[in-house]
Every structure is written in C-alpha cells, then in structure tokens.
Amino acid sequence: MHSLIALLVMLTSPPLTKADYSVDTLVMASVILNETRNILIFQPAGYQKTDSVTILYLLDGEFSPGRYDKISLEYSGRPVIGIGIINTERNRDLLPAKQPEPFLSFIEKELIPAVEKNYYLAERILFGHSFGGAFTLYAMIQSPGLFNKYIASSPTPIMNMVDTRIYLHLDNQLNKSVAFYFSFGSKDMKQVVRWCKVLNNNLQPLTFKHIHWIHEVNEGENHNTNDRVSLTKAFQAF
C-alpha cells in the first residue's frame, strides 16, 4: 500500500527539476546588420508587468535555452528575462579581430530599445562564452556602462584585451559601477587558461573606482561545460 501511494505521488507531482517559463521568438529586421535576426525571449512564470526585472542578454542564442534553464532553476531573486541572440555569422559578429562593431551597434541601438520598452528594467547583463566571452569584454570596453554586469565564460581570443591601460581608461570613462566576472574551467583549452591568467594577473594590482571584478577557476569544468557554471556563479557573486 505504501509503495502504491509513493508511486501515485511520483506520477501526480510536478517534476522538481523542471523550470517554469515561456519562450517566444522575436523576428527583427535589422537596418544596421541588413539582415533578419531571430531573438528568443524567455519569461518566468508568475512574472507581472509591474515587476522590475533583470534582463539577461545571452550571446550564442542557440545555446540559450539550457543556460536560461540553469538560471531559472538556481536563481531565486528578481525576475530574470532572458534574451537569446541567435547567430547568423558567429565569427564575423563575435570575434574582436573581425567585424564586431555592427553587431554591438545592433544590440545597443536596435535590440535593447525593442526589448526593454516592454519591461521595467532594474539591471542589464551581458553573458558570453568562448568567442561570446571575448565579445563580452569587447562590449564592456567599447560601450562603457551599456550593461550593469558582464559575464565572460572561457573568453577567447582576448590577447589585445589584457592591456592594463584599457581597463584604467575604461574606469575613467564610467560614471557608474559595473560588475565584471570572467572564468575558465580547470580542464579548459590551453589558450583560454593562458590568457585569462594574464588578464587576472594584470588586473590584480590595479585600483578601480567603478569596475568591480571577480575571476574564478571552475574545478573540473572544461570548455564545453564552463558556461552554465560561470553563469550561475556570477549571479550569486554580484
């Protein structure tokens, strides 16, 4: 009898590991990029239009469902609206050595206004992994203060963006506090580990007024698994 009751509870109870949110697709005809972009919009269950929200912009939007799912399950603070930006030409848009300027301009001048007109914004976060992590640093440097928080997971390549003068200049340009989190996995790619260590070592002796930064090495994680761990840790850190 006890076994039957337990089975009935299992069959009728909602899954404990299933996040509860809706997903919509916004189709944008970008003038800046001269192309159509598909944007995934994740909205938590129970969200009210009067709520102030965190809006999390997720680069490499193809992977945003799993990443947003992780936040939905493990973060219990202010409602988080996820914005997954689907790629068309990833290398062109995300690599600092290619042509990232139009993509950043698209985010700043077209995507953000289109999305945020529907919400009461409390804070705006940019998350990127790998090439997206490199673009996250690029965006922080090129458009100071556009986001409140920047999360760069296993960022690569970042060679030219480890120069201390860049961050001292950025700090002087900012008129508000920003948070910057970057990480790599202990089993990450060698070039990621190398350059993240250089950036960490270069930032250590600097004193900032506006930049609050954290660097972490996520034990046991590799280049393919460091993204979700970094995302949740950054949310807990700031």
> Is the C-alpha dihedral spanning 186, 192, 195, 200 positive or negative?
negative
* Residue 21 CB partners (closer than 8 Å, separation 6+): 42, 43, 44, 45, 68, 72
Percent of the chain at pLDDT > 90 equals: 87
Residue 203 to residue 135: CA distance in whole angstroms: 19
C-alpha–C-alpha distance, residues 192 and 215, integer Å: 13
Among 36, 47, 42, CA closest to 58: 42
Per-residue pLDDT reduced to its tens digit, 197-207: 999 999 999 99
Over residues 109-121, mean pLDDT: 96
Domain limits, the chain: 18-237
Q: Determine which of 7-11, 153-157, 202-206 has the lowest per-residue pLDDT on average.
A: 7-11
d(CA 212, CA 134): 18
CA 207 distance to own-chain centroid: 25
Q: What letter represents residue 228's amino acid?
A: R
User: Which residues does 143 contact at the CB level (< 8 Å), separation at least 6?
Assistant: 104, 108
- List the structure tokens of 31: 């003038």
Answer whether residue 193 shows pLDDT above 50: yes
Q: Percent of the chain beyond pLDDT 70?
A: 92
How confident is the model at residue 19, as a pLDDT?
72
For residue 39, CA distances in Å to 67, 85, 146, 174 come to 15, 5, 19, 29
Distance CA 119, CA 49 (A): 7
Q: 3-state SS of the chain?
A: CHHHHHHHHHHHCCCCCCCCEEEEEEEEEECCCCEEEEEEEEEECCCCCCCEEEEEEECCHHHHHHHHHHHHHHCCCCCEEEEEECCCCHHHHHCCCCCHHHHHHHHHHHHHHHHHCCCEEEEEEEEEECHHHHHHHHHHHHCCCCCCEEEEECCCCCHHHHCHHHHHHHHHHCCCCEEEEEEEEEECCHHHHHHHHHHHHHHCCCCCCCEEEEEEEEEEEECCCHHHHHHHHHHHHC
CATH of 18-237, one of 3.40.50.620, 3.40.50.1820, 3.10.20.600, 3.40.50.720: 3.40.50.1820
pLDDT tens, 52-66? 999 999 999 999 999
pTM: 0.91
Question: How do residues 125-139 score in pLDDT, each as one tens digit?
Answer: 999 999 999 999 999
